[in-house]
Amino acid sequence: MEYIVEKTQKVKKLSDEDKLTLAKKISEEFKTYDNARASQLEKAQRLINEIYFKKVIKPDASSTKSWKCTLKMGKAFMFHQILKAFIWKNIYANMNSMFDVSGENLESDNNSNKQKTMLVDICEKMEYGKTCDKIIDKSLIYGELISFCTWRKLSEEYRRPISFFNGIKEPSKLLQIASAVAKGDKFYIDERVTYDNPYIYCVDPANFVFDTTQLDMNWETCPKINRTWRTPEDIINNRYFEVPKEVANDLREMIKTGSDDGKLSTQNPTSLKQETRNGTTVEMLEHWGDLMLTDGTVLKNWYAVVVAGKYLVRFEKNPFIINPFSYGTYFQDPDTKRGISPLYSILDIAETQEDILRRTMNLQSLTENPPVLAPKGFFGDDADDIDLYPGKIIEYDPQLYTESKVTPLDFAVNVFSQDLEYIDDLMSEISGVFPNMAGGSENDRTTATEISTKVEGQLTRLKMLLDVINQNLILSDVKKIAKLKANFTFGDETVFVNNENKPENVTINDEVRQADYRYTYADRSATNERFNYVDMVAQAVQMFIKTGLQINIEEFFTWFMEQKGVENPERFLNIQQILSPEVQQALLNNPTLAPVIQEMQKRVEMAKQGHKLPDNEPVEQPINALKEGA
């Protein structure tokens, strides 16, 4: 492991002591950055407990209290799912409309369609939508959108029957075929590449830290450390890692000695905070960005890997050149500079609503089987405190009452009903997430104007979240994919596309990949407003047609389809040029045009009957005759 000193251009190698010191330094930096954002992890853990049903209310084992309600409403789960569905529908449900590409100059603009075709093809093949699902799930817990862009090559094995023609068609398979024949097999097994392109991974915000003091000014180069877990064999067999034999033995021994201590039972970040082993895996810290050595030397754009908190196994210049991380927050904590989930705003209110609901259910149980008052001593002496539960009999002193009879107690069941409705509305107003976003019905007493105003208001708020996702995640990922593709792929490649049942092969070359492009995203709310406006105009035109007003339907049809995003709508029209009888008779009376028109009519009849048209006269002759007749 070595590095070059920029001032002297001398190559320096790390000693074993330097490696241990640097590994310890990176491990300590991770803990320092992680401790600085402890409040973020606490907020996230509360959301995890509520959304993923980890917070369980156990009933009291006492016979006098076991009847009490332990119901959970799951409102945080509902808000999480509604907001995630809204984001999916408006951003990454359709890869082709997720982003747009235009050129920075005339030459690159001509290639922008090919560039977008290539990027959409990569996103579809890597199943970018599934990655976005994971990222959005994490972001609604931690308030941060984090992804990692790298190069990935995938291959798969396949099995084929042995045939003489296989060896002729594919000479590269002769070795596998000959090996299978020597074994007496009738089939051979080979391997093929299924994916060899940039790839986007979801990064868990709980395991990602960075120097927050450089976030605003130096995000591309500031120190970033990502924590993952790998098996010892993955680390030892990685051809990019330098793993001495004694380190490999120690990693295997770590797993062997702790294989049965039960530490695989939880994946809670808090439980794993001080651990370097997680079940059958060990900790791996990847340091990206500027790295300061113990002597004060700063290595620009460096990549270092530490395993088990003490072994430096990789130390080199960033092989991808670019900063591989995309990062954004919905809301930023001014103290920790880390993200806060928008769902955290309704957490306390949701817990309060659950408590009120449980109280209401308790009152309902007491109403169905109420406690009763009875004369003191009638059921025997009982010095214990009285606990209320359905059917409870309460003794009282008969001297305090005029009648000595058993009297049931009355309870008002609907005392909290208005509170529950109020809290429902309050949670929606605070978070901006309304049940009708998922198809829920509005109150019958609500007017159409009120519904429209409420929907427009919530969409305006949520549009800010969509912009955060588009700017900091989608466009950032697309740019990184394009840069990696331009830096690591050379020559021509073919991308197959099938638009509107028109299959074609698009050739992508270095000129396309390495051009300068501008990446943008569509404003979905503005698009919806334009569509609504077009539909309103269509309804007005339909109404005017009924009044007898003459309207150019073909022209309006073309405008309507263009506003809806349909290219070349004229292809749907079947326009026939019809001449009036007076014009036809005038043309036939012309001695110059009459034989030409008769010949054309004859050809039309022959074509209708399926006869071959004669080629004895050139096509230009009738056209010239028409010009002379005109």
How much is the average pLDDT of 593-599? 71
How much is the average pLDDT of 43-52? 92
Confidence of residue 401 (pLDDT cuts 50, 70, 90): low
Which pLDDT value is given to residue 214? 92
| Higher pLDDT among residues 185 and 618, named by residue | 185
Whether the predicted pLDDT of 480 surpasses 60 = yes
Which pLDDT value is given to residue 523? 65
Residue 360 is which amino acid?
T
337 closest CA partner among 168, 143, 154: 143
How much is the average pLDDT of 585-613? 67
Confidence of residue 453 (pLDDT cuts 50, 70, 90): very low
Confidence of residue 573 (pLDDT cuts 50, 70, 90): confident
Close Cβ partners of 519 (under 8 Å, ≥ 6 residues apart): 99, 100, 101, 475, 478, 479, 482
Phi, psi of 13, rounded to the nearest 5 degrees: -105, 145
Which pLDDT value is given to residue 173? 76
| Higher pLDDT among residues 592 and 342, named by residue | 342
Close Cβ partners of 314 (under 8 Å, ≥ 6 residues apart): 240, 241, 242, 303, 304, 305
In this predicted model, what pLDDT tens digit does every residue of 138-197 receive, in sequence order? 999 999 999 999 999 999 988 888 776 655 566 777 777 788 888 888 888 888 899 999
Which pLDDT value is given to residue 609? 62
Q: Which two tokens stand for residue 198?
A: 């940039």
282 closest CA partner among 329, 241, 229, 324: 229
Give one DSSP letter per residue of 544-580, joined into a string: HHHTT----HHHHHHHHHHHTT-S-GGGG--------
Alpha helix segments (H runs only) across 219-285: 232-236, 245-257
In this predicted model, what pLDDT tens digit does every residue of 108-136 receive, in sequence order? 999 999 999 999 999 999 999 999 999 99
Q: Which DSSP category does 611 fall into? A: P
Whether the predicted pLDDT of 450 surpasses 50 = no
| Higher pLDDT among residues 417 and 517, named by residue | 517
Which pLDDT value is given to residue 512? 94
Q: Which long-range contacts (CB under 8 A, 24 or more apart) does 345-349 make?
A: 345/430, 345/431, 346/75, 346/76, 346/79, 346/427, 346/430, 346/431, 347/46, 347/47, 347/50, 347/76, 349/423, 349/426, 349/427, 349/430
Whether the predicted pLDDT of 454 surpasses 80 = no
Which pLDDT value is given to residue 291? 92
Give the range among 324-338, 346-360, 412-426, 529-543 with minimum mean pLDDT: 412-426
Determine contact, residues 148/226, Cβ cutoff 8 Å: yes
Please, what is the average pLDDT of the chain?
A: 82
CA distances from 613 to 91, 534, 593, 623, 624 (A): 56, 47, 20, 17, 20
Which pLDDT value is given to residue 497? 86
Determine contact, residues 64/362, Cβ cutoff 8 Å: no
How much is the average pLDDT of 188-208? 93
Which pLDDT value is given to residue 9? 57
Can you tell me the distance from the alpha carbon of 137 to that of 114, in angstroms, rounded to the nearest whole number? 32
| Higher pLDDT among residues 592 and 113, named by residue | 113
What is the sign of the dihedral through the CA atoms of 101, 102, 103 and 106?
positive
In this predicted model, what pLDDT tens digit does every residue of 219-271 receive, in sequence order? 999 999 999 999 999 999 999 999 999 999 999 998 887 555 555 556 777 77
How much is the average pLDDT of 589-598? 70
Share of the chain above pLDDT 90, in %: 41
Residue 379 burial by Cβ neighbours in a 10 Å radius (0-12, 13-18, 19+) = exposed
Which pLDDT value is given to residue 491? 93
Give the range among 45-59, 202-216, 328-342, 436-450 with minimum mean pLDDT: 436-450
In this predicted model, what pLDDT tens digit does every residue of 57-112 receive, in sequence order? 777 777 677 778 888 888 899 999 999 999 998 899 888 889 999 999 998 999 99
Phi, psi of 507, rounded to the nearest 5 degrees: -90, 125
504 closest CA partner among 496, 492, 514: 496
Can you tell me the distance from the alpha carbon of 153 to that of 162, in angstroms, rounded to the nearest whole number? 28
Which pLDDT value is given to residue 398? 61
| Higher pLDDT among residues 1 and 233, named by residue | 233
Which pLDDT value is given to residue 457? 59
Can you tell me the distance from the alpha carbon of 595 to that of 600, in angstroms, rounded to the nearest whole number? 9
Confidence of residue 583 (pLDDT cuts 50, 70, 90): low
Whole-model pTM: value is: 0.77
Which pLDDT value is given to residue 456? 58
| Higher pLDDT among residues 28 and 186, named by residue | 28
Give the range among 246-255, 303-312, 365-374 with minimum mean pLDDT: 365-374
CA distances from 553 to 382, 415, 544, 550 (A): 91, 62, 12, 9
